[in-house]
A = this chain, B = another copy of it.
């Protein structure tokens, strides 16, 4: 049974809500899921998971610094995350735009760790995006995203 970490930074609760929707589907798909606020996430734990899912609001076209801090600290694990699955989602808070570059920035960090990333040919291609509180469209995107990554996890980790 593959193990998943869903870690998020959320100030308004929108990104947290996305994390919860994603976690429910990942559990329904039979994966073992831990869902954590970034402030509760110790960088050393990353090594225990097969899938790492990061969520962040979009601040000035990239992830919140709180998540970036965790990623910067992950240099101590460099090389040890190779082959894991990485996935990302984003919400738009105060300032519109920049969601795609936020998700791309997180995916780039995963690629630099040697991780595996999958896109989606429908909907939000790089990862789900919610404008404010997740509406029906964003909820469905989060669910598709979780299902797709669960399918990939089963192929890679049994």
Interface residues of A in 95-129 (CB under 8 A from B): 95-101, 104-105, 107-126
Residue count of chain A within 8 Å CB distance of chain B: 52
* Copies of the protein in its oligomer: 4
Whether A152 sits at the interface, judged by CB under 8 Å, is yes
Cα A104 to Cα B35 in complex, Å, equals 29
8 Å CB contacts to B: which residues of A110-158?
A: 110-126, 152, 155-156
Is the beta-carbon distance between B152 and A116 smaller than 8 angstroms? yes
Q: What B residues does A100 contact at CB under 8 A?
A: 97-101
Identify which of A24-32, A43-51, A60-68 touches chain B. Answer: A60-68
- Whether A34 is near chain B, meaning CB under 8 Å from some CB there, is no
Residue A74 interfacial (CB < 8 Å): yes
A13 within 8 A of B: no
| Cα-based distance from A115 to B118 in the complex (angstroms) | 6
Which residues in chain A, 33-84, are within 8 Å of chain B measured between CB atoms? 59-66, 68-69, 71-72, 74-75, 78-79, 81-83
| CB contact between A72 and one of B65, B79, B83 (< 8 Å): that residue | B65
CB distance from A1 to the nearest CB of B (A): 17
